[in-house]
Amino acid sequence: MKTTIKTLAALTVICMFSVIFAATAASSNKVIHVWHTETNPKSRQAIANIVARFEKLHPDIKVEAEALAWGDLEGKIMAALAAGSPPELSHGQPITCAALQAKGLLLPLDEVVEAIGEDNIWEQIKKVGKFGDHYYGLVHAAGTSLLIYRKDLAQKKGLKNPKTWDDLLNIAKELTMDTNGDGKIDIYGMTIPGDNLFINILLGELTKANGGILFDDQNRPRFTDKTMIETLSFLKKLTRYMPPGWEGHGYRETFANMYGQKAAMMYQGYGRGASLIEQYAPPHMANTDYFDVWIKPHGPSGIKPAAQVDEEPWMLFKDSKHPKAAIEFLKFFYQDENYLEYIQTVPIHFFPITKSLRKSAAYHATPMIKKWKGWLDVQEYYLNNDLVKPTLVIDWKDMHQKPYLMDILGSGILKDMVMEVTKEGVPTEEAAAKAQKKAEELIKDKGYARW
């Protein structure tokens, strides 16, 4: 009996020390919080796998990775900053990165760039996150907007890649069809998302493709310029060939119009849509014989095509608890063997930022890349020829000189202007003047007016 009591007492002491030791070890761990925007299961699993491998090499660091929908991310970042408890790392739009860097809220990622090799990063990628001599943002992957079209329908009608907006309008008209003879349109020539983010994206790239600007060097809006009036007039004409209710369609509904054979072109498509086509289109149509991409056209006052680039940079927050540990995690993330696993989760949208991975045999062996290579070729053409910019960025200097772009995006001013012209019948000049006034007031209120 005494022996049993002594044994139990000894075991109790051991358990107590084990609990204390475990608690002490846990408290000594550095916990880094990582917020990202890739909510699809494959990407989340890839990040979880990368985290597990990193934690095995760094037992003193725990990584808590959280996938957030785009609509939730900006608000959560601002709330965390206001509370003084930002994550170590987060994705964010390039204009968000620019705004936060201007306020001194970010730390440089130069050490990560050095580990990757600055010469190993595509030139376009460098322009997104470099401010002065330092990198305050580092893109996780790049994907450009795409003009997706029904290749089979275009070939039947002998339609070629449009060079101008007038060409595109003619093609949209040709591809708006009653295919079963019941007197009702069952395939529309064009589809676009109608939500605020995508209308801002659309208006930014169309402005660029028409040789215009959104704001001048004094930060004054240029919404009443000839180039904007031409852009709005083009959109008004284009919406004639869109399905009813397009203004309420989000990105996925718009892609459903494509793979559901209700629309023949999609102006704001992206490479990740190839996965949706493979999942939902009739099996025999899930390829580039039916769904291919064209280079986007330019407007009457423009000379070059333009597209938007979806490339959220990683941001490292100044007031986070363990920035050094976060830097080590990013170094690990971008190593080819880890980065490849991430890229392969959305291979037609995730253009690698590193030249080494883009050239690797393992990357080119990815089945979807072989199947949808033409979609990647167009994106590479845009990237290599500096034809893509982030949302609302017309010239690269906008990233550094216009920190109010994030406020413009959130205000809904541009969407309201487009909807007034295309849906409410407001004269183009009147809608532009109204938006001009609202944007001027917002910029003055934020303290950026220099006119």
Please report the pLDDT score of residue 28 as a whole number: 53
What does the domain layout of the chain look like in residue ranges?
Answer: 29-142+311-371, 144-308+388-445
Q: Per-residue pLDDT for 10 more than 80? A: no
Mean pLDDT of 207-219: 97
Helix (H, G, I), strand (E, B) or coil at 110: helix
Please report the pLDDT score of residue 95 as a whole number: 86
* CA distances from residue 103 to 55, 99, 128, 182, 359 in whole angstroms, order as listed: 32, 7, 17, 60, 38
Q: Which segment of 111-120, 158-167, 245-254, 323-332 scores lowest on mean pLDDT?
A: 245-254
Residues 6+ apart with CB under 8 A from 327: 109, 111, 112, 316
Question: What are the pLDDT digits (tens) for 72-111?
Answer: 888 899 999 999 999 999 999 898 899 899 999 999 999 9
Q: Which segment of 35-39, 189-193, 204-208, 287-291 scores lowest on mean pLDDT?
A: 35-39
Q: Per-residue pLDDT for 365 more than 50? A: yes
In terms of Cα–Cα distance, which of 359, 322, 358, 324 is closest to 343?
Answer: 358
Q: Per-residue pLDDT for 350 more than 80? A: yes
Q: How confident is the model at residue 378 (pLDDT cuts 50, 70, 90)?
A: very high
Give the CATH number of domain 29-142+311-371; options: 3.30.70.580, 3.40.190.10, 3.40.630.30, 3.20.20.70: 3.40.190.10
Q: Per-residue pLDDT for 2 more than 50? A: no
Give the tokens for residue 301: 């006052």
Share of the chain above pLDDT 70, in %: 94
Q: Do domains 29-142+311-371 and 144-308+388-445 have the same CATH topology?
A: yes
Whether CATH 3.40.190.10 fits 144-308+388-445:
yes
* Averaged pLDDT score across all residues of the chain: 92
Q: Which segment of 67-81, 149-163, 330-344 scores lowest on mean pLDDT?
A: 67-81
Q: How confident is the model at residue 69 (pLDDT cuts 50, 70, 90)?
A: confident
Q: Per-residue pLDDT for 290 more than 50? A: yes
Question: Residue 292 in contact with residue 151, Cβ under 8 Å?
Answer: yes
Q: Per-residue pLDDT for 145 more than 90? A: yes
Please report the pLDDT score of residue 18 as a whole number: 47
Please report the pLDDT score of residue 22 as a whole number: 44
Please report the pLDDT score of residue 4 as a whole number: 47
Q: Per-residue pLDDT for 380 more than 60? A: yes
pTM confidence score: 0.88
Q: Per-residue pLDDT for 172 more than 90? A: yes
